[in-house]
Each structure stands twice: as C-alpha cells, then as structure tokens.
Amino acid sequence: MKILVFGDIFAKYGRKLIVDELSDIKAEYKADFVIANGENSANGKGITRKVYNELRSCGIDVITSGNHIWDNKDVYNFIQEEDRMIRPANYPSPCPGRGYEVYRVGKVRVGVVNLSGTTYLNPLDNPFDVADKIYEEIKNICDIIMLDFHAEATSEKIAMGYFVDGRFSGVYGTHTHVQTADNMVLENGTGYITDVGMCGSVDGVIGVDREFIVKKFRAQRPTGKYALAMGKRQINGAVFTFDDTTFKCTNVERIYKIYD
Ligand code: FE2
C-alpha cells in the first residue's frame, strides 16, 4: 500500500502543475491513495468549491488544510457536506467541517487526520490531546492512520511524531512550504517527515513574489496587495509505503520535483 502526500498547493500556479502532473506521479510511485494540503489553493488564501472540485477530479482523494482554511468564505458553502475536505481537528466545536475521516481503499481502511500546531499559530485546542482522543476513537476501525500536522515549529512536529509513534501509521508536516530531509521510519513503525514542502513557484518566497516579500520584511509595515510568484515550479511531497499485512510503515521517500 502506497500513500502519496503533497505539501501546500499554492494558488493557480501550483494547482495547474498538480493537475498536469499528478497522473504521471501516481503511476511513477504506484500510489493507491493521494492526500494533498489545499489551504492555500485558491489565490494563495483558502479554498473554494470550484478549486476543491478541480483538485478532487485530477486524482486527489482527500484535501487537508490548516490555518488559512477560513480565508475564502466560499469554504462555508461546502465544507460540511464534503467528507473529502478536512480541516484541523483542534478548531473549536462551533467550526463547521470535520477534522478526520475514515475512507475505504479497496479492503484497507485509511483514516486521515488533520491537526494544527499551536506554536506561532492560532491558540487552538492542544493538538497532542486531540491526537490522543482521535486515535482512541478510530484505532479499531482503521488499518492505517495518516496525520497531516500543519504547524510552524519543527520542534512541535518532531515531538508529535514521537508522541504518536506506533499508533498513527504516517505523520507528516505541512505549512512552512519548505521540505525537510528527515524522512524516516520511527522506532515503533510510524513513517515521519517534518515538512513535505509545497507545490507552486520555486522562485518566490514560499509562493509569493520575492520583491513584495523583501519589501515587506524591510518596511515592517503593510505594503499593499501581494503578488503571486511565477518562474520555475516545484512539486513537493512524500510517498509512504506500508506492509500489506501489518500495515506498518516500511519506507518514507521524499518527492522533490522541479519544472521549468
Ligand atoms: Fe498554513
């Protein structure tokens, strides 16, 4: 069993790239299931129903998200009814949508969980407590449980990996848009990587025009509407391989593709 995951798909530039390349990448890695983070897929902020449909129809099975999930109001029109759209489970209960779901992939039951970190991010419920609670709820109805931990701090993500090692099957980070090189299988069989990176422009600053961002850092004040970066493109992700009998992770491979 192979599960392909992708980091934050950023705006139209990232979307078009994934739409064009996904079938080849799926074939290359013989992927059975695809999860991608889409929290920035609509113009770099949030997601719309149209974008959700576009990503789903190109072959992404489940779309996870993060702190930008509410940025485009159109999300309220579909998040409740679409069980392939996941938002961080540690948002408070009045928020619509779901933080985890269980899917059938042939005979295999795959749980997908999304959590947000709280270090340098919104003060949500403690993600470690919520991970514990969800695990107890779904452990008997899942063969594989994947966690997209959308977090800023590498330390918080590594700590989460160790915390759920041997319970969750695969844990990967999103949000920073920069891939880390620490893909591994942890001591108790959980596949892990701190951040899988992003899908979109290589030439900007995490997807945004570089001149705009440099100006912003130098000015330390609002500098107007941001522009999206263009230029060379990248697809960042990882492929998690699981034993077909024990469902333990046997390998985590990074995907880092550059396109002119
Ligand atoms: Fe984010």
- 131-162 pLDDT, tens per residue? 999 999 999 999 999 999 999 999 999 999 99
| Ligand 1 centroid to residue 175 C-alpha, Å | 4
Q: pLDDT tens digits for 45-71?
A: 999 999 999 999 999 999 999 999 999
Pick the catalytic residue from 68, 150, 175, 177: 68
Confidence of residue 14 (pLDDT cuts 50, 70, 90): very high
pLDDT of residue 222: 82
Please tell me the distance from the alpha carbon of residue 16 to that of residue 156, in angstroms, as a whole number. 32
Domains of the chain by residue range: 2-259
Percent of the chain scoring above 90 in pLDDT: 96
User: Is 150 a known active-site residue?
Assistant: no
Confidence of residue 12 (pLDDT cuts 50, 70, 90): very high
Please tell me the distance from the alpha carbon of residue 68 to that of residue 248, in angstroms, as a whole number. 32
Q: pLDDT tens digits for 164-183?
A: 999 999 999 999 999 999 99
- The fourth-level CATH superfamily of domain 2-259 is Metallo-dependent phosphatases (3.60.21.10)
pLDDT of residue 226: 82
Q: Which residues of 165-176 are buried (b: 16+ CB within 10 A; e: fewer)?
A: bebbbbbbbbbb
Confidence of residue 223 (pLDDT cuts 50, 70, 90): confident
| Ligand 1 centroid to residue 45 C-alpha, Å | 9
| Ligand 1 centroid to residue 122 C-alpha, Å | 11
Average pLDDT for 79-108 = 97
| Ligand 1 centroid to residue 93 C-alpha, Å | 20
| Ligand 1 centroid to residue 259 C-alpha, Å | 23
Q: Which residues of 76-104 are buried (b: 16+ CB within 10 A; e: fewer)?
A: eebbeebebbbbbbbbeeebebbbbbbbe
Average pLDDT score over the chain: 96
E-state strands within the chain: 2-6, 8-9, 33-37, 62-64, 100-105, 108-116, 144-150, 170-174, 184-185, 191-193, 198-201, 233-242, 249-259
Give the H/E segment covering residue 158: helix 154-164
Residue 15 has pLDDT above 90, yes or no: yes
